[in-house]
Amino acid sequence: MSKVRTEDLLDQFQLELLAGKDGVHREIHTSDISRPGVEMTGYFKFYPKERLQLLGKTELSYFNELTNEQRQERSEKLCTDVTPGIVITRGMDIPSELITAAQEAGVPLMRSPHKTTRVISRLTNFLETKFAPFTAIHGVLVDIYGIGVLITGQSGVGKSETALELVKRGHRLVADDSVEIRQEDYDTLIGNSPPLIEHLLEIRGLGIINVMTLFGAGAVRSFKRITLIINLELWEKNKQYDRLGLEEETMKIMDVEIPKATIPVRPGRNLAVIIEVAAMNFRLKRMGVNAAEEFSERLTNVIDQDQQNE
């Protein structure tokens, strides 16, 4: 999990820094954002001081109706030594008591011209992404017809060569060899490439090739949601492979179960075409069209008719 500092918000959202410049290096430890409405009334017993604080029109309107002594007291309690920052929305005027307290406590006081709901939504999404659980998997991630396909398998099985063929067929490479994966939601995995090897493919016999340089910007993308896993394994003569597609296998990455298909590899099989068709078939299944189930129903009907004829 990467570190997030208040100065990252200033750069990312072009916030106006009004006070507390000394505290812009403070770390933000949670994606939760607090709107201290109850605290404005003077109740600070459960004040989440370690969170980023956001004051909208409602909070500031109430704050401005307080007496000078009350505003000073509430401002000092809001600005603690661990508060990462206070954001004022709608470009509203900020009471002098709050500016003074923030400056003395070293709490960054920032202002945004946008509406409160928009600011809190964008800040939350940004922080959720930064604090998302993270892992890395050996494999190749390719965008095939909008489906994020993670190709796994032991070293030397042909993952990178298959990815190269898929790129030649018009699909887009996301990552080769190492795929960094973060869980942005309870059911969402986003994969991307480490910066060091972004847009690069390693082909044994050729070495490192730059996919974007060879095939253009349309052949790569920076990140993609993972929705299907294709595991390549060397063909085992005595192993029984699924020939109908009725078996639904999954692979768990962190807390998310992802549909998985195992494709045996042997000379003569066009893996790129097979994976391309697997992605299209996966899209059809999500649209309610399942060829394996249709065949199974046809077979069942034929058997029932034969039994009735007997």
Catalytic residue among 51, 71, 111, 159: 159
Q: How far apart are CA 222 and CA 139, in angstroms?
A: 16
Does the annotation place 155 within a ligand binding site? Answer: yes
Q: How far apart are CA 293 and CA 153, in angstroms?
A: 28
Does the annotation place 160 within a ligand binding site? Answer: yes
Instruction: Spell out the residues 6+ positions from residue 26 whose beta carbon is closer than 8 angstroms to its own.
Output: 5, 6, 82, 83, 84, 85, 108
Is 77 annotated as catalytic? no
Is 171 annotated as catalytic? no
Does the annotation place 168 within a ligand binding site? Answer: no
Does the annotation place 202 within a ligand binding site? Answer: yes
Catalytic residue among 177, 260, 283, 285: 177
Instruction: Spell out the residues 6+ positions from residue 160 whose beta carbon is closer than 8 angstroms to its own.
Output: 140, 176, 177, 201, 202, 203, 204
Does the annotation place 158 within a ligand binding site? Answer: yes
Is 298 annotated as catalytic? no
Catalytic residue among 204, 237, 239, 243: 243
Q: How far apart are CA 169 and CA 211, in angstroms?
A: 13
- Cβ neighbours of 264 (radius 10 Å): 16
Catalytic residue among 138, 168, 269, 298: 138
Q: Where are the alpha helices (DSSP H) in the chain?
A: 6-13, 37-40, 57-64, 68-78, 96-105, 116-130, 159-168, 211-215, 271-286, 291-309
CB of 171 closer than 8 Å to CB of 306: no
- Give the DSSP H or E segment for 192: strand 188-192
CB of 231 closer than 8 Å to CB of 263: yes
Q: How far apart are CA 310 and CA 306, in angstroms?
A: 6
Does the annotation place 183 within a ligand binding site? Answer: no
Q: How far apart are CA 74 and CA 68, in angstroms?
A: 10
Is 138 annotated as catalytic? yes
Binding residues for Mg(2+): 160, 202
Binding residues for ATP: 153-160
Binding residues: 153-160, 202
Known catalytic residues are 138, 159, 177, 243
